[in-house]
Structure 1
């Protein structure tokens, strides 16, 4: 098994503008990844040409499908070093110790916020995807991995202000707010959601990595049941009202009684479907995956998206988004 870590970098700073269309809330993620891949391929193509021209020593490496993948820059002997990969994957990097490929490479030295941590309101949202098992230990692993990447990307900050959790199978759809609230009551899986919250999410709060916790798409009954069974209740509930005009009155009343802040969002639950990810990384996309018709090109195997995390850093005194981006995790078997 090989882990893939996809990243957009800061989608606020420079580069082509991101296309946004109503009703397709995962387009920001998909288009941002496309831009990130294209930029990396252009940037690192020049680096490879310079290495070849200068006669830099390289060693042959092997991809996960057992075939030669060109050349791999020699390391300093540290098995945990993340090294650039050449051949078809020249714009990626590999952490050999953890069997992880970063798509694209990440220049951690340039990752930082421009001002002191106290000047920012930082919100993070993790999406557990329908394609993965609701196993609590795996979700705890995903959450830890994702949070570590965000903290590192933002310059090694010690914490974030709000972490929102999005569980699969949840929505707030209906012809009216009353119907949406009623349908929401039977969605998702209470047991796995509560167990995940207790094992993965509350622990981050106890460690001081997250100041406030939130959930997404919980209506009146779901929220009431959830609050009764967790030690640290959510301070925020995000709901998507794209098909409804108003917050259901019972939910508004419950939120007020329990000191839960209701926020509106436009994210979809299944933000990175398996087909979309394969298209992004396939021969007609980034070219990371081998051509199924010929078997040539990049990596082969079953590709499964596991999680997505979105982060936003807002400068408090100006209300300006300085840094916003995504990471996504997947498995290649």
Structure 2
């Protein structure tokens, strides 16, 4: 395997795993959590070179050749795609970048739902959340996204977001690993306002920097310092009438240091 290095002008690396359901070694294993699955996907994508890629003056886009085939027999009208975007900061341009890449990579006209995961605990400010929310609202107004929601915000902050937003969140996710019982006030509010209340088991930090260090240390032929995570997209596409999972993948944005 030949040495692989990026020009110094490259500031962003984008990695798209493609449909991980197409690769036996990337499908969900018993006991494997989301972080472990992402790490496995990134290791595979970086190891299986040469893979399809594109590059411009400032960014590098890598696609996992082994499982990039996203062809699904059903027509798009029969599919429902749900997306979760994990942000590491409240930078609006990061969310805009994630959404731009989402639609470019999947080539779908409309995404059924997008859940925003931006959680700085008690330090999460309503003003920051509303600024990010406005970006999602713009996509709803353009009829590119049907439903929008948030993950892992406390009840008070969620209610404030609901009351202060123009387009209301219709989904809220909570992590049962950190909250064994759904707060009664949140249950009541979601029921009264027709908000879908979901649970998840994603790690608080979906891809810790220590994992990135391990990934890039393994790739000795990749002449690149350990980059910094900016955002991760996870998408799930189901066949509507059957509820069958047809496609699952990740798009990861890394800032080259």
TM-score interval (norm. to shorter): 0.7 to 0.9
Aligned residue in 2 for 1:278: 213
1:196 aligns with 2:156: no
Shift of 1:268: 2.1
Please tell me whether the aligned partners of residues 167 and 269 of structure 1 are also in contact (alpha carbons under 8 angstroms): no
Alignment of 1:264-275 (within 5 A): 264-275=199-210
2:111 to 160, 163, 168: 160
Question: In the comparison of the two structures, how many residue pairs are matched?
Answer: 247
The whole-number CA distance in structure 2 between the counterparts of 1:107 and 1:95 is 20
1:320 maps onto 2:244 in alignment: yes
- Name the CA shift for 1:109/1:225 in 2 (closer, same or farther; >3 Å): closer
Separation of aligned partners in 1, 2:70 and 2:117 = 26
Distance in 1 separating the partners of 2:68 and 2:45: 17
Pair 1:100-2:59 in alignment: yes
Query: What is the RMSD of the two structures over their aligned residues, measured on CA atoms?
Result: 2.4
Structure 2 residue 74 is the aligned partner of structure 1 residue 115: yes
* Structure with the larger RCO, 1 or 2 (CA within 8 Å, 6+ apart): 2
Distance across 1 between alignment mates of 2:140 and 2:166: 11
TM (norm. structure 2) is 0.86
Q: 1:217 aligns with which of 117, 137, 152?
A: 152
Q: Which has the larger radius of gyration?
A: 1
**Which of 14, 33, 50 is equivalent to 1:5?**
14
What is the TM-score when the length of structure 1 is the normalising length? 0.67
For the Cα contact (< 8 Å) 2:152–2:175, is it kept in 1? yes
8 Å CA contact 1:142, 1:307 repeated in 2? no
Q: Can you give the 5+ residue segments of structure 2 that lack an aligned partner in the other structure?
A: 1-9
Helix, strand or coil for the counterpart of 1:102? strand
Return the offset for 1:218: 2.4
CA distance in 2, matches of 1:4, 1:106: 16
Q: Which residue of 2 aligns with 1:299?
A: 224
Gaps of 5+ in 1: 42-89, 171-185, 290-297
Select the residue among 289, 309, 324 that pairs with 2:233: 309
The answer on 1:238 being equivalent to 2:173 is yes
Aligned to 2:3: none
Q: Assess if the C-alpha contact under 8 Å between 1:19 and 1:27 holds in 2.
A: no
Which range moves more in the overlay, 12-21 or 157-166?
A: 12-21
Q: Does structure 2 retain, via aligned residues, the 8 Å contact 1:314–1:320?
A: yes
> Is 2:197 the counterpart of 1:262?
yes
